[in-house]
Chain A
């Protein structure tokens, strides 16, 4: 009797599956070797394996859930693994209104992340306080932590969040390995009172 299931007897062509392989960085290729700079290899690896830490407080967080869902699927960009421990994550995604009382919490989470770390402010509230021009709301998370990418919108659509994520990927890919130890970066952290 024929087996009802194929058990991968036939080898399939992976091109048909729509799997995107990361492009190799520029370098010298020859028979049996490939040479490039360390910056580029590290950049490529980091770019395609970012671990986001969602800090979702309101409606932008719902949009992020859609972004993580199967329809928009942030996993395609190597961000499959959403971590809920700041110690393991590379990318802090702040989505939603941050009250002034929560400002120290955002900063604490940022401090707990290991270098290199990136921050994306999703939505009008996280970027600037949004419509909440009031005594209780932080007027943008860049008051407490340095932000790499701002995504406008109230709330932004998942496409916009993905666009912001790709901007982060560009930053990650092209970041110099010396940036985090440089004087400019130290001065930036110093301006936020972070040692």
Chain B
């Protein structure tokens, strides 16, 4: 059985049933959504199942959807099967009020910095991460800059010197 998107979907549905939703196939890249409690189970299954073998974590990032009430933050995993050169993307959603998602660091060591970055910019709290602190921004920053909670240009800021710009 070759590793085409229909077969990946079949394997996953056999294992997890109806809990995986929002299947789509954009530019020949399979994409789906899992409940956030299942994220490690899905990652493990994709990793261990010999037919799937998604053993390389390309990226972890997040997206903020302010309009999706009680599931504002979306954590996106990009996986790669290097042998078959097949890529896959799956998402879990979490409320921004309590953005707890299980950490994938036990499975992928490379998830360490990716999750720190995602925490840094979106404030996703990765439960079980060994060292969840800011990685790119200054330590004393007290907000998560890529959440869409802030105007693009904050008129109240005082660190901009208006004399230079004639605003």
Name the contact of B153 in the complex, choosing from A101, A133, A140 (C-beta under 8 A).
A133
Task: Say if the beta carbon of A97 comes within 8 Å of chain B.
Answer: no
| Given A133-B153, A135-B145, A136-B145; A128-B161 close (CB under 8 Å) | yes
Mask for B136-167, Cβ within 8 A of A = 1, else 0?
A: 11100100010000000100000111001100
Closest residue of A by beta carbon distance from B137: A136
Task: Say if the beta carbon of A139 comes within 8 Å of chain B.
Answer: yes
Q: Is the interface of B mostly helix, strand, loop or mixed?
A: loop
Task: Say if the beta carbon of A143 comes within 8 Å of chain B.
Answer: yes
Determine whether the beta carbon of A128 is less than 8 Å from that of B138. no
Determine whether the beta carbon of A135 is less than 8 Å from that of B160. no
Closest residue of A by beta carbon distance from B162: A128
In angstroms, Cα B161 to Cα A133, docked, is: 10
Determine whether the beta carbon of B138 is less than 8 Å from that of A140. no
Task: Say if the beta carbon of A127 comes within 8 Å of chain B.
Answer: yes
Please give, as numbers and ranges, the residues of chain B lying within 8 Å of A143 by CB-CB distance: 159
Mask for B105-145, Cβ within 8 A of A = 1, else 0?
A: 00000000000000000000000000000001110010001
In angstroms, Cα B137 to Cα A100, docked, is: 8
Residues of B within 8 A of A (CB): 136-138, 141, 145, 153, 159-161, 164-165
Residues of A within 8 A of B (CB): 100-101, 127-129, 133, 135-136, 139-140, 143
